[in-house]
Structure 1
């Protein structure tokens, strides 16, 4: 499930196979590495399977590397891109950068330079996926609280931090009120005023968000995720999750089954 995909596109068989051999040895099973002899083959492949890193020659017959990148972009296919070329003309590099290329390598490419470029691309893949996961799990009503609004009174900031660190446990309003040295009724009023959610709504939303993170980034069974998110039974967790997200936890995991890490 963790294996990622790399695609090498070059019309020269020796170059194509040489790059693949070097990267197969470096990858040691981390990547499934495929090759394509031209831009058309590459587009067909990327339409069927997600490609995390694309390495493409820039000068190829029929569909050039730049045309391949444009076609991918138009179809919302967004791998991390490394361009290789025997040509150093500035306009190619300029256009490649405009199309989101992270590295532009000139032939002949040493193994060291190739591997350094791919390792750099790996970091970009991780950043892309982390951003994707945040987008998937984010709760719009909690967004403004992520950075802990400094204008919130200190007891509210402390209450939010306490809740966030205690999601696995049973959390009562009285317990949190005691922690921040406030009367529970006053905490309730203050919380609603500044967080724009009731105490229990906030706790539920944070628990479901935690569950979403675990569903996407781990293989933990549903009952373990229920427990990690603060629910005593999987049945109740599934009920609340479906009310909030419109699907069961299992369906949510299936729909977002590309792991972020």
Structure 2
């Protein structure tokens, strides 16, 4: 359930937005309110808001100061700013600070609901991206980004590995296929990719395993075979040593954090 926080010092506006969004939400979302930027910042210390709808003109701490304070704490939630025509400079500044959109007063209910719907879609998209990023090995990403600088033998070696993950693969075997001495190939591979051949092979196998764990319902033993491990027991050991959890625990954790990956 996503949480929406309405921040406005005017009771009529605050309660009017809450009533409109509560009816629109029909129980799908949690709708909270704060009567000031100070109250909102205090509430956010112990709670999470996925979308914040805030006025820009408030006493003590205005909407812009609240955004700045939130930005210092970490990534901003999706922010929708409310402003009057005379306060457009505030709205523009809010957008520069990272707000998603603004709504002009007097508020139109249809525009409010449409803007909040888009804000929620953006927030859900962010969560999906964050969940997918957890599947990506940073070192493999680095190697991929430097692909243009890889020599032909190393590119071909990586292509071979990716195409034959289910099979037993040794460095000597790949070096022979590239018509290179194994010792020279080992040094060349490390120089160009930044990781050893063995480390790369393990990482690419575990990367594929993680993708299969969250995108399929295949048994752990089948996934072990598909990524080149002869036994599930050895696969589980390697996975746990590198990821800090068993394949089964990893699957449950990621799917619970973002069910939209299923």
1:72: how far off? 1.6
- Cα separation, partners in 2 of 1:7 and 1:166, compared to 1, 3 Å: farther
1:84: how far off? 0.8
Output the CA distance in 1 between the equivalents of 2:128 and 2:174: 34
Superposition map of 1:27-46 within 5 A: 27=25, 31-46=29-44
Equivalent pair of 1:4/1:51 in contact (CA under 8 Å): yes
Equivalent pair of 1:85/1:105 in contact (CA under 8 Å): yes
Q: Which residue of 233, 245, 258 maps to 1:248?
A: 245
Superposition map of 1:83-98 within 5 A: 83-98=81-96
Q: Secondary structure at the match of 1:150?
A: helix
1:93: how far off? 2.0
Aligned residues: 255
Q: Once structures 1 and 2 are overlaid, which stretch shifts more, 97-106 or 251-260? A: 251-260
For residue 204 of structure 1, what is the aligned residue in structure 2? 202
Does residue 172 (structure 1) correspond to residue 172 (structure 2)? The answer is: no
Q: Which residue of 51, 54, 64 maps to 2:52?
A: 54
Q: Structure 1 unaligned runs (5+)?
A: none
1:102: how far off? 1.5
Output the CA distance in 2 between the equivalents of 1:21 and 1:136: 38
For residue 79 of structure 2, what is the aligned residue in structure 1? 81
1:91: how far off? 3.1
Q: Which residue of 108, 111, 114 maps to 2:112?
A: 114
Deviation string, structure 1 residues 93-118 (Cα, Å, up to 9, x no partner): 23312321121211122233223322
Does residue 143 (structure 1) correspond to residue 156 (structure 2)? The answer is: no
Q: Structure 2 unaligned runs (5+)?
A: none
- Cα separation, partners in 2 of 1:163 and 1:253, compared to 1, 3 Å: farther
CA-based RMSD? 4.2
For residue 69 of structure 1, what is the aligned residue in structure 2? 67
Deviation string, structure 1 residues 44-66 (Cα, Å, up to 9, x no partner): 33222222211111223443222
Q: Secondary structure at the match of 2:103?
A: strand
- Cα separation, partners in 2 of 1:212 and 1:7, compared to 1, 3 Å: farther
Output the CA distance in 1 between the equivalents of 2:229 and 2:13: 55
1:68: how far off? 2.0
Output the CA distance in 1 between the equivalents of 2:146 and 2:254: 30
Q: Which has the larger radius of gyration?
A: 2
Q: Secondary structure at the match of 1:34?
A: strand
